[in-house]
Structure 1
Amino acid sequence: MKICIDGIGLSNLKGTSLYSYTSEFLNNLFEMYLQPEYQVVWGKSKYITSLGEKNKLSYLNLEMNRAKNDYRKLEQHIKKDNVKLYHSLNNGFSIPFEKNCKNVSTIYDLSPMENMLFTDKKYYEKFMTVFPNTVEKSDKIIVVSNFIKKQIIKYFHIDENNIKVIYPGCSKQFEPIEYEVCKKVLKNNYNIEGDFLLYVGSVHQRKNLHILFKVLKQIKEYRYTKDIKLVILGKYDGKREEYYSKLKILAEHLKIKDSIIFTGTVDYKDVKYFYNAAQCLINLSQYDGFPLSVLEAMACKTPVICNNNDLFKEVVGEGGILVDIDDEMYMKDAVLETLLNKNYRNFVGESGKKQSEKYKWSNSIEKTIEIYESLAY
């Protein structure tokens, strides 16, 4: 059986959660499900990947015009090469308009449907152009949370029997590491020293970093936490630049600019050192499909503080601290408690570690294989 999978997240989107997801998904799939002949659609003429060379694995550079949603070359390849099943990992965006095999889509994000302000005009127009086709042409839709399942049913009235919730797993590389080892890596490689709070993800308005800045300002007014920093690990260029510029102005206004470090994208293998060195990870996002960084931090026993919404309730459960983003005083107190109360910090960290163990890639891949085989055979 030939299975074709879109690898655009791995080839072109380094530093994003889609990169992390695609890398882990493919590596675990190829390890657990050896029978099929795999083809990975690549976005560049030369592939650079952690997948390496494997039997029954080939890379396709079809030179598609994704910007114009032109997938004719993919359609032609699927038909000519007798591909049995095609899996679009990038929110279903690459499902061909002409259906020549069984199609599976993995959906993480319906933010344009939730609020136009959650995305830019270009992405909104692309979503509204291709996503209806994704819904129509997918034989099975995989969603990364019950939150996304409810949304896709709400907006597109899909039969819930065609939707399967499969949570991402947590990479085995994310585990507790000795604090001093982490501090040494960050000092030598990133010139970061001292205690810090951590945010991991895209610099986007819906992530509510401006609220986090205000909370940081209040925390630094206390004697024992006046030297605390905030490290922001993630992309801030391109379409993120406008919000990034506003954040820089806000930091200047609040007189905390010297306490905020924007690292940009860092090597995936180094992210674990940031988690383990951080006093806590904070994610106040207003909208996400699945907060992979929160799961990874919990696996490292790093306390997590998250927005008290339906998604974080589902994923974090009792493994972290949920806060109301409209109550800055409560958020400040929650952060201070993790910084100043070692026993409490350890308790939250242990709870998060236990919660993270529910998310295993072996479970995710087993459920995916069941879908593949039910469609193919």
Structure 2
Amino acid sequence: MVTAYNLKESNLFKPIKVGDVTLKNRVALAPLTRGRNSDDHIPFDYVKDYYDQRSRREGTLIISEAVLVSFKSSGQYQPPGIYNEKQAQKWKGVIEAIHKNKSFFFLQIWALGLYADPALTKSLGLKYLAPSSNVYIKKEDEEAAIAAGNPSYGLTTQEVEEYIQDFVNAAKKSIELGADGVELHAANGYLPFQFLYDNLNKRTDRYGGSIEKKANFILDIVDGVGKAVGYSKIGVRLSPFFRTLEDVDFFEDQTIATYSYLIGELESRRKQGKKIAFIHLVEPRADLVTKNLHITNDFVYQIFKGVIVRADGYTSDFDKLRKHVQADERTVIAFGRHFISNPDLADRLENDWPLTPYDRSSFYVGGEKGYLDYPFYEQK
């Protein structure tokens, strides 16, 4: 069967300026947790080869997997960090490999909050951190935290400010190592995301209460990073309509208003010359869109006039891919699972070459299998 994506003449293969760099195509590697790191959060040597493979098409944007900004932001097994020198040197090797291919790298800065494992954090001598005490994403998390003797702990105002500095320090280190920018992970239920929601944020200080105050944690990180390394070197990942794998919804009556305010503040900064590199949107899950036609991220385009990266499982719906990338001149498309199994994804999409299926069982476990052994089309 002949494959026909009909993308070769589309905007997907036109250059676009993102922050301080100009991409030669709009096929970006989405941030993908892969679990190829030590228990001390140090990337294994072959992580460099993984990113090298996916950056060989000149001018491609590579966004890293989520990277811990500090030891206290951890609480899961084997994600990478960037808070000590051993970790930093591994990322330096990754960045050098990507730049050798004349492609570009944004490192995603990240903190878990309530997505940490309360028992693991307890064993590490850490608190189970949250915007407020005694709040949980789901009942099972509360039960696990109580059983571990490590109930959720609401950060003090001073601790919030220290956390903001952790993000700034991670950004500074990333840029010192040669990264082209960083992406603030404020999506998918993690700590910055948690500050936006009334059911998780019961604070009464600068960081809770009104919509404006709930957005301050994210905005203070953006401003801190912007002042430290330049606003053009930060992207922000958001997921307004997030649903967990356990079908816990984070939709509130104020969701659109909350994100409209937050994104409006990023646009206000853009108009003042403080132009962030991009907003990165996680699109709503397909089952939610089917049930509610009003669930869409399109409202973001009405507010923010900079570059927008969209991630939405586009290799399962090429009509939607063409529609979104052709709708305007400022959209980049982030690909995940099929970029894992097709290191030359942009070439395949441009030339109508078939895609190699991915092996879900190797996404998060295993060494080089399912990580480095997917072939380029011309190797098949």
TM over 0.5: no
Higher helix share: 1
Larger relative contact order, structure 1 or 2 (CA cutoff 8 Å, min sep 6):
2
Q: Smaller-chain TM-score range? A: under 0.3
Larger radius of gyration: 1
